Amino acid sequence: MQKKPDWLRKKLIIDPNQDAVFDILRQLDLNTVCREANCPNSLECHAAKTATFMILGTKCTRNCTFCNVAYGSPDTPDPLEPEHVADAVSRLGLRYAVVTSVTRDDIPDGGARRFAETIKAIRRREPKTAIEVLIPDFRGNDAALSVVADAAPDVISHNMETVKALYPEVRPQADYGRSLDLIRKIRCMNPNIKSKSGIMLGLGETKEQVLEALGDLIGAGCAFLTVGQYLAPSPAHHAVCEYIRPEVFEEYKLIADKLGFEFTASAPFVRSSYRAGEAMGFLEKE
């Protein structure tokens, strides 16, 4: 495994807010993608009293080669989970809440109804809080996507993760065209919802392939874009092929802006849920 360059070294952040976040999550028996995906930004986010909730358990039915989320027999969904998420949103004072999930191919609707229930629970509890959901592809089930769109979150996000050419080795159980179609259908189902997607760099992609992905996304009507550095969770995961320099990320941001994305976050530590509220004006740009 390559040695990380200096620009990928994070300062250790210790803050009392972190303990407060951990306590709330533990009391409400909630999971976060911050922990399960081993996000490098988690301490920073918890210090700001925020977290990205992960519903429908911690076991994924897919085994993507880049992801740290556990693969295995899925957990039984907690029927109280939507209300618990809403309670956490309220107790943390979140103005912008992000909810994601593991992929649940074992559930007929892929977990769409649970997303809708969680959105509605947050709306009842905190009607002024903006809501972003980061959803799986629901195996191309339009009815499932419609359930989420009908619940009217402010943003529906679905990550492409990588370029088309790398799908067979990085996302073997997913399909590039299917994910792109999901982004395209969001605007058709509810034009008031902003669509969002993200890709990682350093998996072995070429610049031409990245530009192809950006062009495909803007062609599908994607409004918000994130571009970040892939960091391998372990030697057993897909290897990091390259550490992309910060100026290359800035170049992709300029390209994305010219293509017409409404908001682009492109930098080594960018993740789809990191400072997500910035795109909707809930955080000042750094």
Q: How far is residue 224's CA from residue 25's CA, in Å, rounded to a whole number?
A: 28
What count of Cα atoms within 13 Å lies in the side-chain half-sphere of residue 65?
15
What is the C-alpha to C-alpha distance for residues 189 and 241, in angstroms, rounded to an integer? 38
For residues 100 and 33, the answer to whether their CB atoms sit within 8 Å is yes
Q: How far apart are CA 266 and CA 254, in angstroms?
A: 9
Q: Comparing C-alpha atoms, which of 175, 285, 284, 198 is closest to residue 249?
A: 198
User: With a cut of 50, which residues of the chain have pLDDT below it?
Assistant: 284-286
Question: Which pLDDT belongs to residue 284?
Answer: 43
Say if 285 falls within a structural domain: no
pLDDT at 28 (0 to 100): 97
Residue 193: inside a domain: yes
Q: What is the Rg, in whole angstroms, of the alpha carbon atoms belonging to the chain?
A: 18
Beta bridge partners of residue 49, listed in sequence order: none
Sort 136 into a burial class: Cβ within 10 Å, 0-12 / 13-18 / 19+: buried
CATH number, domain with residue 177: 3.20.20.70
Alpha helices of the chain — where are they, by DSSP H? 16-27, 33-36, 42-47, 81-92, 112-125, 142-150, 167-170, 176-189, 207-219, 246-259
In this prediction, residue 283 carries a pLDDT of 60
Separation CA 174–CA 152 (nearest Å)? 25
Q: For residues 106, 109, 112 and 114, what is the CA-based torsion angle, rounded to 10 degrees?
A: -60
Whether 52 is in a domain gets the answer: yes
Q: Would residue 49 count as lying in a domain?
A: yes
Output the pLDDT for position 3.
81
Q: Give the DSSP H/E element, type plus range, for residue 220.
A: none
258 within domain boundaries: yes
Residue type, 110: G
How many structural domains does the chain have?
1
pTM of this structure = 0.95
Q: Are 90 and 55 in contact (CB under 8 A)?
A: no
Instruction: State the number of CA atoms in the 13 A half-sphere of 159 facing the CB.
Output: 25
CA distance 211 to 232: 23
Supply the range of the domain harboring residue 194: 6-280
Predicted local confidence at residue 23, as pLDDT? 96
Return the residue matching tokens 């912008």: 96
Q: Is 1 part of any domain?
A: no
For 191, left (φ over 0), alpha (ψ -120 to 50), or beta? Answer: alpha
Residue 20 in contact with residue 259, Cβ under 8 Å? no
Work out the angle at residue 157's Cα, subtended by the Cα atoms of residues 151 and 158, and round it to the nearest 5 degrees: 120
